[in-house]
Amino acid sequence: MSFNEEVKPSKSNLSRRRFLIGLVGGSATALLAACGGSQPAAQAPAAPTQAPAAQEQAPADSNNAPATEAPAATSSLSGEVSVRFFPFGTGVEEIYQGFADEFQAENPGVKVTLDLQPWDNRYPKMLADLAAGQGPDVMFITTDVLIRFANADVIAPIEDYLPAESWEGYSDALLDEVSLDGKRWFVPMDQEVPIWIANMDIMERVGYTKETLPGTWDEIREMCARVADLGDPNLWGWNYSASSTSLNTSFYPFLYQAGGRPISEDGSTPTFNSDAGVEALDFIVELFDKNWSSQQYLQPIESGQDPFTLGQQALSQHNFIATLVTLRKTVPDMRYAIGPVVSHKEAWGFGGRRSWAISKTARNIEAAAAFTAFLTRPDIMARHAEPFGTFPAKSSANELVYKDDPEIAAMAERMPQIFGEQKHKYGRDLMPLVIPEIQAAILKQKSSKQALDDAAKAVSEMFAKG
């Protein structure tokens, strides 16, 4: 299995579903959030699955997080609510069926229909379905499409329908991320947390311990040089996923670490071609020039065949907790440690910030809002987060997760060093314009500056469309 990321706008890369099956920093990245953004993913069906009528309620201790006792069924709500979600990991259908059953037990007049869809092409399909009046009532979504969906007038400002208590426990920064024009359009659900995993068998050979793992660019350079000095042509220090179709876990972390940002604060101008961007790309080019990164990462790699998974690479590229959960199960003999958040001028990693939204044409918007409020209860958030290797978006729910896993629980400290999706109308669309230019620089067809300037010119023309 490969250590890869998410989204798949093109067939040259692996999907997020495949990433969740796979492992660290490999050939292909495909956003999402996200994002964003775990255990082997459930296979998504070709067509939506419909939830059967409410059956046995999910046990209170499922997923190692306590559930609050369900209140007596006194709700006067009625109608049907369709919920679109994605293959976050193993058991996703069973977990969501449990949520549906529990909500229906509390609200016997409401029928919840589950709509599990594949990751691929998810947002164009969702937008088209909503525009045609055939979309879900409630949908799992990431902030990079907020502007497009709000401008298309297909989602409702969610704060108009959720009770005040549903907004308790969120940070101001997170609430700002789901806001546009003074309104909150999404309600946050969970947060991916970035990690870099070290192979301690290799690290110890070149003089590192768990306490001294490299974390800065210069320290990683030194580590890569030491690995190269071993003289083994089948060992590498690090990697960059040059075939990735997402910038979120490939180029953007380097850009942020160099002190740069992809887009100007007012959203009018691409800024990834700044001095910081050039410095970031120069470092990426250096990894390949000096053979510190395997040339295999110039092409997509089959799941399970990337150098890190095969024990031939000292430090993984950017990954998530979900990757670690899978690594423990699929490569149990690997002696590993979690390295620090990578830094240069700043310390940053990407983490998808995923949310719920409500369709403007929901068949019963009160019932849709009630189910959304149910999903964002701290106990439900916790039961959703832990199986899929994320943290709840509400701070009050973090104490409910990873009680038996202090290694992962400690990752909550990384929250201040996480950036999310680019909240821009063209945040996703610009990526196919930038990625080929980065590849051209790696292949020495262009300088880093020329490659990024050419990409910025193309993106500026896109932004000019309005």
Is 118 a residue whose pLDDT tops 60?
A: yes
| Residue ranges with strand state E in 253-403 | 319-320, 336-338, 349-350, 353-358, 391-392
Is 304 a residue whose pLDDT tops 80?
A: no
For residue 264, tell me if it sits in a domain: yes
Q: How many domains are there within the chain? A: 1
Output the DSSP codes for 139-154: EEEEGGGHHHHHHTT-
Position 90 scores a pLDDT of 86
Is 51 a residue whose pLDDT tops 90?
A: no
Position 257 scores a pLDDT of 98
- CATH code for the domain in which residue 277 is found: 3.40.190.10
Residue 164 sits at the vertex; the CA angle it makes with 162 and 170, to the nearest 5 degrees, is 95
In sequence order, what are the residues at sequence separation of 6 or more whose Cβ sits closer than 8 angstroms to the Cβ of residue 233? Answer: none
Position 73 scores a pLDDT of 52
For residue 193, tell me if it sits in a domain: no
How high is the mean pLDDT of the chain? 86
**Per-residue pLDDT band at 189 (split at 50, 70, 90):** very high
Please report how many Cα atoms fall inside a 13 Å half-sphere around the Cα of residue 112, on the Cβ side.
30
Highest mean pLDDT among 51-65, 259-273, 295-309: 259-273
Is 74 a residue whose pLDDT tops 90?
A: no
Is 38 a residue whose pLDDT tops 70?
A: no
Q: What is the mean pLDDT of residues 308-320?
A: 95
For residue 379, tell me if it sits in a domain: no
Q: What is the mean pLDDT of residues 91-117?
A: 96
For residue 292, tell me if it sits in a domain: yes
Q: What is the mean pLDDT of residues 30-55?
A: 35
Q: What is the mean pLDDT of residues 141-149?
A: 94
Is 144 a residue whose pLDDT tops 60?
A: yes
Position 444 scores a pLDDT of 97
List, for residues 238-292, the tens digit of each pLDDT value.
Answer: 999 999 989 999 999 999 999 999 999 999 999 999 999 999 999 999 999 999 9
For residue 164, tell me if it sits in a domain: no
**Integer Rg of the chain from CA:** 22
In sequence order, what are the residues at sequence separation of 6 or more whose Cβ sits closer than 8 angstroms to the Cβ of residue 332? Answer: none
Is 154 a residue whose pLDDT tops 50?
A: yes
pTM for the full predicted model: 0.82
H helices present in 142-245, as ranges? 146-151, 172-177, 200-205, 217-229
H or E segment to which residue 169 belongs: none
Percent of the chain with pLDDT over 70: 84
**Per-residue pLDDT band at 324 (split at 50, 70, 90):** very high
For residue 159, tell me if it sits in a domain: no
For residue 132, tell me if it sits in a domain: no
Is 37 a residue whose pLDDT tops 70?
A: no
Residue 116 pairs in a beta bridge with 85
For residue 2, tell me if it sits in a domain: no
Q: Which residue has the tokens 């300088």?
A: 447
Q: Which is higher by pLDDT, 396 or 209?
A: 209
CA distance 344 to 356: 34
Position 60 scores a pLDDT of 38
CA distance 64 to 68: 13
Neighbours of 309 (CB within 10 A): 24
Q: What is the mean pLDDT of residues 45-71?
A: 39
Of 33, 18, 21, the residue nearest 355 (C-alpha): 33
Of 148, 145, 146, 169, the residue nearest 158 (C-alpha): 146
What is the residue range of 207's domain? 198-349
Is 359 a residue whose pLDDT tops 70?
A: yes
